[in-house]
Structure formats: C-alpha cells, structure tokens
Structure 1
Amino acid sequence: MSRVRYDWSKLCTDLLRSILETLNTKDFHRARTVCSSWYSVSTTCMRPLHPWRILFRKSSTLLLDPEQQDETLETEHPGTDFSESCVIASCSNWLLMIDVRVDSYLLNVFTCERINLPSMKSLLVGNASFYSNASSSNIPACLWVDERTGDYAVAWSYKEHYLFSYKKGDETWREHRGTRCRSMAYKKNRLYVLTSDDYIKILDLSGDSPKEEGNPYVNHRFRFVSQPGEFVWRKKVAITNSGEVLIVLSLRGLQEKRLFCIFKMNGESGNWERVDTLGGEMLMFGYGVTVRSPIKEIDGEGIRSDSICFVDYDLWPAAEYFRPNRKIVCGVFDLASSTITWPKTSDASVLKSFWFVPGYA
C-alpha cells in the first residue's frame, strides 16, 4: 500500500496560523522560512515587534528577547570564529557580517543559514587596515532581505569615496562612482545616501543599473548649527515607516553629556528642523530604520517608543572606548528624558552585542 503524500504548503490558512502562533520564537522564525505560503501566513500572526540583542561568544550566539528575559536562545555556529567578525548591518533575522579576511556574508540568527557574498579584496587593494577599523559605525552599510522570495540587497561604503552595492543574482559588486557616502539607508528598492557634503542622494536600485529620480531633498543641504559645548561624533541617515528621511546626530553636549538629536526637513521651507519625537517609533541607530514599538517600557531595559537603540561606539567616546579588547555593549537612549539605559549582560564569555529586530524588513 503506497503512502499518501501531503503538500504541507497547502495547509488551511486558519489552521496553519493557529499552529504558528503556538510556536516559541525560534521555531516560529524557522517555520516561516519553509515556503512562501507559510511566510505569507506568518505575517498575519500577532507577534510583538521590538528590538532584540544578539550576544556573540567565540563560536556561538545568545539571542535575548527583552520580553522573555528568562528564555535565552543559544545557537552553536561550528567553524565560525566570531572574535574575527563584526556586524555592519541587519535586516529582520539577518545580519551582514565581515571578517578579518575581508570576506562578507549574510547570517540568519535563527536558522544559521549563511549566504557568502563576493570577495571584497579586489575592491580594497592597498587598504590593509580595512578590517581593523570595521564596525557598524565607521563602515556605512545597509541590508535588505525579502524572506518570502529570498531576494536581498547589500550596500556599503569605504572612506566616503567608494560606494558598492550587490543584489542577489549579480555576478560581482557594483561600484557607484561620484557618490561620496557618509551614511546610508535602504527602503523599497531605494538607497538613501547622506553624502560627505551633507546632501541626500537617492538611488533607485530596482533595475539593472542604478538611477537617480524622485528626490525632494536634492537641493536642501543639511546644516547643523551647534550650541556652545556641542560637538558632533556621528551623523546618520534613517527612513521612517512612512518613508520620511531623518538625519540623526550623536554628539557631546554641555558638561560632556552624550546625546542624540533628530532632524527632519520641513516640506514648505526646505529647512532641516530639530524634532523631539519619533512619532511613537524607535530608531535603530546606524541601521537606518525606525520600527513601531510599545508605548510602555519593556522590562526596565529602556525599550519603548521615542527611543534610540545604539551600540556603545555610537556615543561620544568615554575613557574605556580606547581600552584594548573591550567588550561592545548595547544601550537605549530616551529622547524625552535624554537618559541612557544599559541592558545588563552578566556572561563573561560574551565578546560583543548588537541589536536586531526579528520579523522586520
């Protein structure tokens, strides 16, 4: 008697949704990668959207959900030495990594799937110090992944003079000459670039060759008039859920207080104006995106609306910044109170930590 084969991709939508909603976080994000129909149903599940931390040991990772502090997800990565790698961008469950050999790859934090990207070595001839200076703050980069189709796009810049992009299916990296990049963000096939002279440039990457079009910011240079005692440390571009462009500064204020401030262009005057709110969203500093977030703070870790998730080197340097082999830690800046919360990490084997937002793309 032959065994009946069933096509699991054709499960009843309501049944599949009820199954997915009972899964723990790790199994849920693994299940949604099974096929396009499972992924589509997973997007209708009521799952909270908020930043998580990923903690790196030498060859394993710990995933920390701030809503479930007692449930740490540990994953082994045989053959990978995270002491020799750093995160330069993230999108949903994926990280863009680079290692000491200047090899880059995408890593799914739940499934451990790895996608190797073309080598960067030929692009960086004569720049042996590239990796030693690598971090998500001084290598402008962005990542976009469509988990339903498996499509992805990557862009990164080096020393503001070189801008490269790569999409799934390309043979090699594509160089965008004439674009001096200080920071970048990606949304809906468009690469938003904050240039070294503080203009916003938008590149449409949907076709075979990039092109500039539909840029309401093109003639409106960003100008920051500092107050006495203010000094800018980092300058980043970000895109809100509604598609508005933000420019975000990390600076030192009076009495050496470390701060973030946000600017948005006034559509009528064309001037960049300082704003005190993210409209109920959270900002992932350096990754170029905002996400919707709960109004109430999550478990005392500072994660709430109108706050900024960052990594310690995004701040004006403190004394320990220059200490050799220091651990990289995450923090949250509250815009309303201008205070910083440092989520705790008690594991001495952790080398570094970064933010990511599961399910957000």
Structure 2
Amino acid sequence: MASLPLPCEELPSPESDRCGSPCRSGPKRNHQCLPLDIMRLVFERLGFADLERAKCVCSSWQSASKQSKPNNQIPWMILFPKDKNYCLLFNPEEKDKVYKTQDLSNDFGKSFCVATYRSWLLMQPQKDSMEDCQYNLYILDLLTLERINLPTFESEYGLPSSILWIDEKTKDYIVIGMVDEEDAVVFKKGDNSWKQMPQLSGIEGCFNMVYKNHKLYCLNNLSGLRMRPPGTLPDEVSFAHSKNNVVVTVGGDILIVTSLCQYMSKIWKFRIYKMDSSKGNKWEEIFSLGDEAILLDLGITVIAKDIEGIKGNSIYFKGNAFEGGYDENDIFIFNIDTKKVEQPHQFVCSSVPCYDARWFLPSFKRE
C-alpha cells in the first residue's frame, strides 16, 4: 500500500538516468530537452500514475510536472476504513494498488462523508447522543489537509443528503442540504449562519440534488420548473426498492435514472429518461449513453472514450444492505448494453474493511 504523494523510488526510472538528474544534451536525450509548453501539453493528457512516472525521468521533466496536473476525468474510488483517521484511494488505471492518505485529523474517524467535490469532502461528525441535535460539519481537502469549519446548526439527522461545491482558486464554496422532509438550508462563504432556502420549501422529500455550472438541479424542481419523473412501469411493480436520481450530462442534458431492485436481492434494473425540451419538456426513455458513463452518487456523467479504467455506456453505483443485499462499501457497474451488474475491482472492497466507499474526481494541485 502506497501513501500520497507516491514516492519516486517506487516507480520505474530509465536505466541510464535517475530521478532528479540534470538534463543532458545528445541525440539520445532530446526528449529531455523538449520545450516547456510542449511538455505541459503532454503531461496534461496523462493520468496520475503516468505523470508520477514521467516526473522521475529527469529534473526538467520534474519541473514541468509541477506546473501541470494529471488528467482527472477518471473517477477514483475512496474508501473509509472503520474508526481510522485516513482514507484509502484506488485508481482504476492501476489495478492492484491502493493509496493511503495522510492522517486527516483526530475527529475524522468519527465522522461520515456526506458529499464530495473534487478532492474536497463534506464531513458530518457522529452525534454523542440521540438527544443531541447540534451538528458541526466541516469541509476537508484530503490531499492538502486544508479544512473549513462550518457553523453549528440544529437538525434531527444532520445533512445526510447534501451537495458541496467549491472553487479551488478563490475558495468560494456552497453547501446545500435538507434538514428535514420539507426544509432545505444553505451556507456560502462569507455567511455567518445557515439560511433556509425558500425556493425549495414545500417540496417534500427533495433529497436528490446536483449542483453544476452554478445551477442547482433538484428532482422535483429543475431549472425553476416543477417536474416529476416518469411513472412506474407495469413490469416494475414486483420491485421492492425504487429510487430516482437526477443526473446532468457533460453536455448539460438532464437525465433521470430510475434504479429498481428486489428486496435483499442482487438483481438490479435501471431505466434512463432524458428531458426533451423540443417536445415541451417531456421525458423520453433512452437506451444508450454513447461514450459517457454515469457516476450516480455524484449525479454527473464523465467521458469514457479511450480512457483506461472506466467503461462507457455504464452506470457506476453503490449498493447497500437495504437496497439490495450488498455491503455498504460495495461499488458496482451496470452495463447498459448487456443489462448486467458487474463488481469492478472486487479485491479492493473485499480486502479492506470499510464502512463506506464512493466514487470521486480527484484534483491534483501541482503549483
């Protein structure tokens, strides 16, 4: 198990050169003297593992890597070991390696992750008692350890279904969540306290939201219009569990993904509906995502064409014991073409005892 950042000595380096050696001239070493702009263009196309290897070629490549960041279109898996103050990260590009983060704080092992954005986590501490309704959430960058403490608010359950957005340059951020079945609260950078969102008041059970491109998408309140997902189909009445998730695609299209599962069963069905604005904002079922894949927990799609480690035309989702006979840290892929559920990287989930697992899109800072 490696720790972040990955040490160069664990990576292969050229036989005739060692990490940090000076750039040398000669016909066999012209690749080391490429212009900086060209190296940046190359490095920004690399994934995390390849960039870590590239920066160990020579000092000039290492310098260029500090001004670049790896391609972060590939979702990583983040696992939360029980009662531990660190996380485990799995990169699908590397099939048998798990990275361990630094110690994240003394209270991290007693907190739950309720939302992610890039490498930022929205953490909710455990309650000391059932009577305690005070919550002190905080935002944490698991790679830099930067922490933002949020004001206390009162709720019976905290913010179990919430969203997080943060601008990594300005550090502006927004946290939105439902404190009960009818009331949503929001906290933004610069506020002194949590504020109620009247726009969402009265929308019972609005526990599924996505924030993208400075727009808030809610399952029953999309772009300011009250909309409901398609009705239950006749052949779905035998399914004990049914859930709708709103998803925003790379191109900005709005999808509703209906997941269906028999109680304590591993038989899943998914149906995908797309809003057709040309037909009066009607929902139509679609049967292909093309070169994209859905990250259901994040409510987004990502490009999967020619990217190793992620399958196109698939739905990445998390199962748990209530929703279909799975452990809470089980991560699965539904192949839309074959209509079958696959368990990717099974060795990760089975070998590491964790209380939770999520997909997330890491952001690696090189400045």
Q: What is the TM-score when the length of structure 2 is the normalising length?
A: 0.70
Match for residue 136 of structure 2 among 91, 103, 116: 103
The offset of 1:304, in angstroms, is: 0.8
Q: Provide the aligned C-alpha RMSD in A.
A: 3.6
- CA distance in 1 between partners of 2:329 and 2:137 (Å): 20
The residue that corresponds to 2:261 in the other structure is: 252
SS of 1:144's equivalent in the other structure is strand
Is the contact made by 1:253 and 1:259 (CA closer than 8 Å) also made in structure 2? no
- CA distance in 2 between partners of 1:336 and 1:19 (Å): 33
The offset of 1:66, in angstroms, is: 0.6
- CA distance in 2 between partners of 1:259 and 1:21 (Å): 37
Tell me which amino acid in the other structure corresponds to 1:60: Y
Matched, 1:337 2:338: yes
Is the contact made by 1:87 and 1:96 (CA closer than 8 Å) also made in structure 2? yes
Matched, 1:114 2:147: yes
SS of 2:324's equivalent in the other structure is coil
The offset of 1:297, in angstroms, is: 6.4
Tell me which amino acid in the other structure corresponds to 1:292: I
Structure 2: gaps of 5 or more residues = 1-34, 53-63, 128-134
* Deviation per residue, 1:96-127 (Å, 9 max, x gap): 22121432122222222222222233xx1xx2
Is the contact made by 1:250 and 1:316 (CA closer than 8 Å) also made in structure 2? no
The residue that corresponds to 1:263 in the other structure is: 273
The residue that corresponds to 1:52 in the other structure is: 76
The offset of 1:83, in angstroms, is: 4.5
SS of 2:193's equivalent in the other structure is coil
Match for residue 175 of structure 1 among 193, 196, 203: 196
Tell me which amino acid in the other structure corresponds to 1:47: N
- CA distance in 1 between partners of 2:299 and 2:45 (Å): 32
Is the contact made by 1:220 and 1:271 (CA closer than 8 Å) also made in structure 2? no
Change (3 A) 1:236 1:291: same
* Deviation per residue, 1:65-120 (Å, 9 max, x gap): 01013443211325335553222222111122212143212222222222222223
Equivalent residues, number: 300
Match for residue 89 of structure 1 among 111, 115, 120: 115
Match for residue 221 of structure 1 among 228, 235, 248: 228
Tell me which amino acid in the other structure corresponds to 2:214: N
* Identical amino acids, percent of aligned pairs: 29
The offset of 1:252, in angstroms, is: 2.3
Structure 1: gaps of 5 or more residues = 1-11, 30-37, 203-214
1:166-315 matched pairs, under 5 angstroms: 166-177=187-198, 178-180=201-203, 181-194=206-219, 199-202=220-223, 215=224, 218=225, 220-228=227-235, 229-252=238-261, 257-267=267-277, 268-294=279-305, 298=309, 303-313=310-320
The offset of 1:200, in angstroms, is: 2.6
Change (3 A) 1:259 1:82: farther
1:23-102 matched pairs, under 5 angstroms: 25=48, 42=68, 47=71, 49-57=73-81, 58-77=84-103, 79-101=105-127, 102=135
- CA distance in 2 between partners of 1:174 and 1:53 (Å): 32
Change (3 A) 1:90 1:40: farther
Change (3 A) 1:104 1:27: farther
* Deviation per residue, 1:176-215 (Å, 9 max, x gap): 1325223111112211112xxxx3343xxxxxxxxxxxx4
Tell me which amino acid in the other structure corresponds to 2:339: S
- CA distance in 2 between partners of 1:26 and 1:97 (Å): 28
Tell me which amino acid in the other structure corresponds to 2:341: I
Is the contact made by 2:210 and 2:216 (CA closer than 8 Å) also made in structure 1? yes
* Deviation per residue, 1:126-185 (Å, 9 max, x gap): x2xx16xx7xxxx33211122222222111113331111122222221211325223111
Q: What is the TM-score when the length of structure 1 is the normalising length?
A: 0.71
- CA distance in 1 between partners of 2:288 and 2:276 (Å): 15
